[in-house]
Amino acid sequence: MSGQRGSILVFVTLTVSVLMLVGLTFATATTAEYRSAMHHTHGIQAFYVAEAGLNWARRGLEQATIVLPTGLAVGQEHIVYRSAAFGGTDTFLGTIGEMRIAAIRRTATEWELLSEGRQQVARRTLAWQMTVTEGTGSSAVLNRHHIATTLSVSSDARLAGNVDMAGPFAPGRVSGSGSVNVTITYGSTMVFERPTLPAAPTLPWRGDFTSGAFLGSGHYGLFRVAGERVVSINVPDHNDVIIRVQQLEVRNDGQIRITGTGTGRVVFHVDGAAVIRDDSRINDHGNRNPAQFVIYHRGSTQIVVRDNVIFRGSIAAPHANVTLRDDVVIEGNILSGSDTVLLQNGVRLSGVLYAPSAAITIRDDVQVTGTAVGRSLGMQNDSRLTIDPSILARFDPFAQELQLWQGAAGQTISFHRWGAR
């Protein structure tokens, strides 16, 4: 009897073990099938995110709201959009999903537009092959000064470089006793647009910055560098360091330096006042590349740079007047969409002075090496304005980013061979 009970126990144990094994196998298979189905679903979602990003970028290129940089070397990429999942800060396509969009220059004229979408761990990449034909570029447009209405050169001032003027010749349009070593051509039909700034970035709020170490990209209230203070901003790679501030003050021997070996820029978006004065230094340390520092001024408050400042970078202010005065040295470009630009008292500017709606005044021992674009130009008291063709090519990426003279210097893009990668 006891032998029968033992046999039954063994049989039951084996039966239960087999059932457990079958159940475990079924559960494992079901879980694997579920994971496979979810991965497939996420892959489809990532595909559609990548496709939406690619369509958005193509439309931007076709409408010239996205412009490819002309100076990009073969094999390098230009980041068009990068969300947080890919290590970026762009958010305006966030309702679509996480994505990264880049343009890679394959040859002198052939590019690849890539869009990578992500959903959970699934990623899908789509691409357009493109042929890009460049326009005439800044070197062709800015190899002469462009003045719309009147030109006055007086009191030992000197203007060198040819001038294009809108409209026909009329007495009084050109006047003064200074040296005008130029050829003036009337009847220019070139249209110069007000600078259009890139969209204001949405960044994490960091409060006022008046002391301590730099906290990185973000949205600040007052951003003040003063009293011999040095603020170092690290640029480790090709990505721009984006900083948005309500008010920018660099004064009293304050310094902003760029460190790191990257090729990215430091870009300030200034919503309110911008004050740079009193022996301050901006980007006057390290490689001092003026292409790596940009101030986009969004407000209408006048920008004043004065009193022995050294600034290596560019300022674009679509709605504000600009004053440079009292021994300021600027290596870069000054752009204004307002009606008055004044350079006075020992200013040295090497770059493009672009203010198509402004009365530009250059006086009192000012020297400008570059090109002037303005509504009118007045030069007085031993000032100099001389074209230097060697600096014009570096204005191309800036001009394209701000959508200047798209008809003359824009890009023609043809798309072919769409597919997955």
CB 188 within 8 A of CB 168: no
Distance in angstroms (rounded) separating the CA atoms of residues 170 and 175:
11
Contact present, 233 and 217 (Cβ < 8 Å): no
What's the pLDDT at 409? 47
Q: Tell me, what amino acid is at 159?
A: L
Angle made by CA atoms 22, 23, 28, in degrees to the nearest 5: 100
Q: Which residues pair with 111 in a beta bridge?
A: 105, 130
Q: Which amino acid is present at 295?
A: I
> How far is it, in rounded angstroms, from Cα 358 to Cα 321?
8
Within 8 A by CB and 6+ apart from 182, the residues are 145, 159, 160, 161, 162, 163
SS3 per-residue string spanning the chain: CHHHHHHHHHHHHHHHHHHHHHHHHHHHHHHHHHHHHHHHHHHHHHHHHHHHHHHHHHHHHHCCCCCCCCCCCCCCEEEEEECHHHCCCCCCCCCCCEEEEEEEECCCCEEEEEEEEEECCEEEEEEEEEEEEECCHHHHHCCCEEECCCEEECCCCEEECCEEEECCCCCCCEECCCEEECCEEEEECCCCCCCCCCCCCCCCEEEEECCCCCCCCEEEEEEEECCCCEEEEECCCCCCEEEEEEEEEECCCCEEEEECCCCCCEEEEECCCEEEECCCEECCCCCCCHHHEEEEECCCCCEEEECCCEEECEEEECCCCEEEECCCEEECCEEECCCEEEEECCCEEEEEEEEEEEEEEEECCCEEEEEEEEEEEEEECCCEEECCHHHCHHHHHHHHHCCCCHHHHCEEEEEEEEEEC
Q: Which residue has the tokens 């009084």?
A: 172
CB-based burial label for 235 (10 Å; 0-12, 13-18, 19+): buried
For residue 328, what are its two tokens? 């300021």
What is the CB neighbour count within 10 angstroms for residue 131? Answer: 13
Distance between CA atoms of 87 and 43, rounded to whole angstroms? 20
Which residue stretches of the chain have pLDDT < 70? 1-6, 10, 12, 16, 23, 26-32, 34, 36, 63-65, 70-71, 134-140, 178-181, 393, 405-411
Name which of 371, 365, 372, 358 is nearest 323 in CA terms. 358
d(CA 313, CA 129): 34
Cα 9 versus chain centre, distance: 78
pLDDT (0 to 100) of residue 408 = 44
373-400 pLDDT tens trace:
999 999 999 999 998 877 876 787 777 7
Q: What is the pLDDT of residue 91?
A: 86
Parallel, antiparallel or unpaired: strands 322-325 and 303-306:
parallel
> CA–CA separation, 348 vs 330, rounded Å?
6
